[in-house]
Structure 1
């Protein structure tokens, strides 16, 4: 990987949306989700069926996380045994209660990336100086995304079923042309400003394989090309949601660079990334009734100066 081309060289001619929504913008392509887009999403609701897309935190089977991060740890602080002790808190009427806390990476579960989460060349989204990240995200943190919220028309692109697989393979790639073909095969074309929700079912391998899942870690996903970036720009895609840890193929097989699209799409175009979604119940429903669009709504936690935040997105068919 040491011989990989630099991101500055690879993306030197890549389009950007810096300044498009003003010099102080921190939510990027979510600006495409106007009131009209909210109403377009609502028109997708046909059945009133609700699907939550967050993976369970502190799952007894384990929590899949990016290598180097640790899963959430939940600690019980108060329970009935607390009142076995002489110094237990006492409340009028004899109230007892339970309390607990978690110690977790903010991006250690289903989560939204802040637009300033990754960068190159010393500049974040919208041209903010990378030194504004020191000690916390002074600019382009996740809090403005949480404040704004995300609502629009979502479309499921079931790449695993499209390719006739239970899960996509390690390092398997697909392009924007594959997304278009998948949507057409499902009978519902992708429309401008759709929220793309892509199923690979790759994280099933984490639950099947345990720790060996991380050996030669290389997730499947979208692969960089100038044409793909231009397609995202032309289609005004506001939000990319996937069921993998990092949305895209981890190491680009064509240039050796890690997480190219985090930079080409998020840093440069302001496309918001949502990761580690649980799409299995939604995908099963879509396969059954052939309705692949829905109202998508989500709001990450408003955490001051944070690089990301847990979220429980909701799809309503």
Structure 2
């Protein structure tokens, strides 16, 4: 199996992924950056040189305060009364959702072997036992080259449909079609067409995986030394993967990509991005690489943070 012969991994192949794509110890036993180590000073300088129009485009969704099928735990946003004589906003939110744009820390989820990044164990509550793998280690932010892989545009469709997941070899095809050469340290930004998908169904999104990225993309991400994955749809569902859920019934949502990317590769994930505006901008300009800036909040011990990823063209 693999990118070379364009075949999906079998269950036996996927069982080898925790070793095949394992970066434990690559940057030291105490490493907290994971694949963000691929972002060198030269990578940042080269990314800055991509700013030509001086135009910034947000790739985030508004924080959702209304409940819905995809948002059973809406954010709480309260404002002070007039007599407070000043700003009085209070915000509380559940970070790991299907609606709000957020970055997953490396301790957000354990792999199939029950271990998180660099072989660390999580507690019974799923949180880190020690101060490791949390987003406060990324206080200096993520500044690198971003490449938009606009899969629906490449396919000539409005969105990635259920049953037609994004494979690793297709990402290389998209790069070739867009005239982009993947580079070490890239933020790989995969557009599957989240908003057009749900608009076509005529119903609101649910708290589930319905379409998205296949685990075969992990080989592409590993081999090209991606630093971070940004996506609108997340892991394709189990029936699209052709694989059993790596967490069994413990976590009913399909997290096939999450289960390898975070704990074994050390690859941060920016979930629920809004990629419609950047797709329009890239098509208008005819270029698909730009500077990306992602700045997680400094929340000690947190397994994630809300973010507003910026594409700067």
Could you tell me whether the CA contact under 8 Å between 1:54 and 1:278 is conserved in 2? Answer: yes
Shift of 1:206: 4.4
Displacement of 1:171: 4.7
1:1-317 alignment runs, 5 A limit:
9=15, 11=17, 13-58=19-64, 65=70, 69-78=72-81, 80=82, 83=83, 96-108=85-97, 109-119=100-110, 120-131=112-123, 138=130, 139-145=132-138, 147-206=139-198, 213-214=205-206, 217-225=208-216, 228-244=217-233, 247-251=234-238, 252-257=240-245, 258-317=254-313
Distance 1:240 1:204 in 2: 21
- Cα distance in 1, alignment partners of residues 96 and 226 from structure 2: 22
Larger displacement relative to structure 2 (131-140 or 303-312): 131-140
The alignment covers a number of residue pairs equal to 291
Deviations 1:5-26 (A, max 9, x none): 6999453542311011111111
Deviations 1:197-230 (A, max 9, x none): 1111224444676765328x433222123xx434
For 1:21 and 1:8, the matched residues in 2 are separated by 24
Question: 1:8 and 1:237, CA in 2 relative to 1: closer, same or farther beyond 3 A?
Answer: closer
- Distance in 2 (alpha carbons) for counterparts of 1:8 and 1:207: 33
Separation (CA, whole Å) in 2 of partners of 1:53 and 1:121: 33
The offset of 1:137, in angstroms, is: 6.0
TM-score scaled by structure 1?
A: 0.82
User: TM-score w.r.t. structure 2 length?
Assistant: 0.83
Kindly provide the CA deviation profile for residues 91-121 of structure 1, in whole angstroms up to 9, marking residues without a partner as x: xxxxx33422123112341110001111132
Contact 2:158 2:197 in 1 (8 A): no
CA contact (8 A) 1:65 1:71 kept: no
* 1:29 and 1:236 in contact (8 A); partners too: yes
Structure 1: where are the runs of 5+ without partners?
A: 84-88, 90-95
Superposed CA RMSD in Å reads 2.8
